Amino acid sequence: MPKIIIDRDKCKGCLLCVSFCPKKLISKDRGLNKKGLNPVKFSDKSGCLGCALCAIICPDCCIEVYK
């Protein structure tokens, strides 16, 4: 099972990863990070394919995917 790590404080909430996730497992978090922005979160890690499209498309390198 892939392991996904999101650096919430680095995320600016651009939501590019949300649109690229083939399983639609990433969503906008309601909580704020240190910058006062809404970062993203994974809703169900067990359904993740480990394709790493989210990490590839992230402009700020906030997502790490480990297989």
Q: Give the strand pairing for 63-66 and 40-42.
A: unpaired
Identity at 2, one-letter amino acid code: P
pTM of the model: 0.89
For residue range 13-56, list pLDDT tens digits in order.
999 999 999 999 999 999 999 999 999 999 877 889 999 999 99
What total of structural domains would you count in the chain? 1
pLDDT at 43 (0 to 100): 87
Give the domain range for residue 45.
Answer: 3-66
How far is the C-alpha of 52 from the C-alpha of 45, rounded, in Å? 13
Instruction: Give the CATH number for residue 9.
Output: 3.30.70.20
